[in-house]
Amino acid sequence: MSDTYVLVHGAWHTGNELEATAAHMREAGHTVHCPTLAGNRPGDDRATSDLSGAIESLVSFLQEQDLRDVRLVGHSYGGMVISGAADRAPERLRRLVYVNAFVPLDGQCLNDLVPPHYVTLFDAVAEANGNAVTLPFEVWREAFINDADLALAKSSYGKLNPHPYRTFTEKIQLRGPLAALALGKSYVNCRQDTAMPHGLPWHPRLSERLGLFRLVECDGSHEMWFSNPSVLAQAILAAGRD
C-alpha cells in the first residue's frame, strides 16, 4: 500500500538534504515530498524570517499540493514546524512522526528546549551574523554527525545554510496540547544522537509530550540523512505505517 509522506527538514537544511532518505522510501512504493521551509530558501531574508512564516509555508504546501492522509515527518527544528502545521491543518494529516525533534508546549520556543550553552552560542553567532545562526564545524562533527568519518562530516557541513534565528526565539502558538490531537503520533529516536546531551534527552523528555505514541529506535546520529539514509528510511516507515 502506498502512503504519502512529507519530510520536513531541520535547521540549516533544505529539502534537498532529505532526498537520499526519501529515495529509499519511494523505492518501497511510497509518495514522498521534501519541501524547503520559508527562511531556508535561496534569497530568504534570514534577519526577518520567523517560525510563523515557516509553519505557514508548510501549511501552504499541503494545501497547494492538495495532500491528504499525510504522514508528516519533522526532524529536529522541523518538530516545531510540524507541530504548528498540525495545529492549523489537522484535517490533512494522518500521523505525526518526530525524528529526534522538538515537541513544544503552547508558548514555548525552541530555545526554551535546548541547554543554556546552546542559547549562549546562538545569541553570539546571531549578533555577529545579521540574526542568522550557523553551527561551528566542531559542534557539527562531534554532536550532530558523530557516526560519520571526517570526509562525510566535512562534505555534509558544506551543504548547510545559515538559519534565521527568529525561528528559535519566536514562541509557538498552539490551540491545545499535541497529545489531544486526534492523529497518530510516533517518535523516532536515533540512539547515538548527542545533539541534545543525554542528560537532557530527546526521548523520553520530549516524546512523552505526544501522549499516546509509537516509539521506533535505531542506531545512528542526529544526521542519519547523510550518514545512513537507508536505515533512517526504514525507521520512518516503521513509525509512519498504520
Quick: pLDDT tens for 23-43: 999 999 999 999 999 999 999
Strands 132-133 and 214-218, bridge-based pairing: unpaired
Note if the pTM is more than 0.95: yes
- How crowded is the C-beta side of 9, counted as CA atoms within 13 Å? 27
Report whether 17 contacts 229 (CB < 8 A). no
**pLDDT value of residue 1:** 80
Q: Which residues of the chain have pLDDT under 50?
A: none
User: What DSSP element (H or E) covers 75?
Assistant: strand 70-75
pLDDT digits (tens, 9 = 90+) for 158-207: 999 999 999 999 999 999 999 999 999 999 999 999 999 999 999 999 99
**pLDDT value of residue 88:** 98
**pLDDT value of residue 103:** 98
**Among 78, 77, 43, 37, which residue's Cα sits nearest to residue 60?**
37
Full set of structural domains in the chain with CATH: 4-240 (3.40.50.1820)
Residues comprising the chain, all counted: 242
**Among 165, 47, 79, which residue's Cα sits nearest to residue 87?**
79
C-alpha cell at 108: 514555548
144 to 62, 100, 136, 181, 191: CA distances (angstroms): 29, 11, 11, 31, 12
**pLDDT value of residue 176:** 96
